[in-house]
Amino acid sequence: MASATLQRRITELLGHHRPAVGDWCTIGRIPEPPADVRTAVGGGRLRPGIIRPLEALQYVWVLLALVVGLVAGLIEVLLTLAAKVFQSKAKREAEEKARLKLVREQEERDAAIAEHRLDRVFDGDWNGTAGRLLLQWYGRSSHPERLVIMSAGTLVLAAPPRRTGAGRDRKAQVITTFTGDEAVVQDPLRGRWKTGLFRIRFADGSWLVLTAEEPSGIRECVMVIRQRDGENPSGFPVDAGSGAP
C-alpha cells in the first residue's frame, strides 16, 4: 500500500491527480536467453547493479538491526523451548494441530502458485512483449525494484535510473508506459494468500510475474474489482477474471 509520500510521487510521475495505485515490486532472477537473442539486443545486462560504496554505508544500521533481531529471535526460541517442557498435553496437542494446519495451507499455496505458473519469471517466449521487456529490464534501470503504477487506462513502470540504497521514491522516473489495450494486471491467486505475487499480461499473450511489497495496493484493487463483478469506474488496466496464463 502506497504511503502518502509515495502517492505524491506517483501523482508527480503521472502528471495528473486522477485515481492511481502503485506498489514497489521485484522480479525473479531473469533466466539466461539464447545467445543469438541476447546478441541481437546488444548483450544487455540481466542482473541489477551493485550498491556504490557510499550508499553501502547506509546498510550498516540495517545489518546491526538484523544482528539484534537474530539475538532476540534466539532468546525467544530458547524461552519457547523452555515453556514447552512445562506445557500440558492438551496444549501441546493444540499447537501441533495448528502447526499441521499451517503446513497444509502452505502446501495449498505452493500448489496454486505452481498451477498458475507464478513460480516462473515470464512465459518463456523471448520474442514476446514480456521477453523483449526483460531483455531491457536492467538496461533501462539497474535498480532491482520497479514501481508499478495503475491509472486510468494506463500501466506505468518506474524506477531510479541507477541502483540506489535510499530515496527510491524521490529518484524514480518513468521507464515504460503501456495502455490498457497493451497490458493488464491479473491476480490468479484471487487475493487468497499474501504472497505479493501478480502477473502483467500483454496483448500478445505473453506475461511476466512480479512480487509486490505487502500490503499490496495493486492486489487489493484487483480483488475489489472482482468483488464488484468487474465494476471498474477508475478504468484501471485490470483483468479481474480467472487470470489464466
Does 171 lie in the same domain as 103?
no
CB atoms within 10 A of CB 203: 13
Q: What is the pLDDT of residue 192?
A: 86
Query: In this model, does residue 1 exceed pLDDT 70?
Result: no
Query: In this model, does residue 176 exceed pLDDT 70?
Result: yes
236 within some domain: no
Query: In this model, does residue 62 exceed pLDDT 60?
Result: no
Does 67 lie in the same domain as 13?
no
pTM higher than the cut 0.85: no
CA pair distance 158, 144, nearest whole angstrom = 11
Q: What is the pLDDT of residue 71?
A: 82
Q: Which pLDDT band holds residue 206 (cuts at 50, 70, 90)?
A: very high
239 within some domain: no
Q: Grid coordinates representing 202?
A: 500483454
Does 21 lie in the same domain as 86?
no
Q: Which of 31-35, 54-58, 192-196, 230-234 has the lowest mean pLDDT?
A: 54-58
Rounded to 5°, angle at Cα 63 from 59 and 64: 120
Q: Give residue 15's identity as a one-letter amino acid code.
A: G
136 within some domain: yes
- Per-residue pLDDT, averaged over 12-30, amounts to 96
The residue range of the domain holding 219 is: 4-51+110-227
- C-alpha neighbours within 13 Å on the C-beta side of residue 48: 18
Does 69 lie in the same domain as 45?
no
40 within some domain: yes
| Tally of structural domains, the chain | 2
Q: What is the pLDDT of residue 235?
A: 96
* pLDDT, averaged across the chain: 88
Q: What is the pLDDT of residue 21?
A: 96
Q: Which pLDDT band holds residue 165 (cuts at 50, 70, 90)?
A: confident
DSSP state of 15: T
User: Exposed (0-12), middle (13-18) or buried (19+): which is 190, by Cβ within 10 Å?
Assistant: middle
Does 63 lie in the same domain as 36?
no
Question: Which among 201, 43, 40, 210 is positioned nearest to 128, based on CA atoms?
Answer: 201
- Per-residue pLDDT, averaged over 205-224, amounts to 95
24 within some domain: yes
Does 205 lie in the same domain as 136?
yes
pLDDT tens-digit map of 177-190:
999 999 999 999 99
Does 171 lie in the same domain as 82?
no
Instruction: Compute CA 103 distance to the chain's CA centroid, rounded to the nearest angstrom.
Output: 23
CA pair distance 120, 242, nearest whole angstrom = 18
DSSP state of 195: -
Q: Which CATH number goes with the domain that contains 160?
A: 2.30.29
Q: Which of 53-57, 95-99, 130-134, 166-170 has the lowest mean pLDDT?
A: 53-57
241 within some domain: no
Residues 145, 48: contact at Cβ < 8 Å? no
Does 173 lie in the same domain as 67?
no
Alpha carbon dihedral 129, 165, 215, 121, in 10-degree steps, equals 30
- Please report, in angstroms and rounded to a whole number, the separation of the first and last CA atoms in the chain: 26
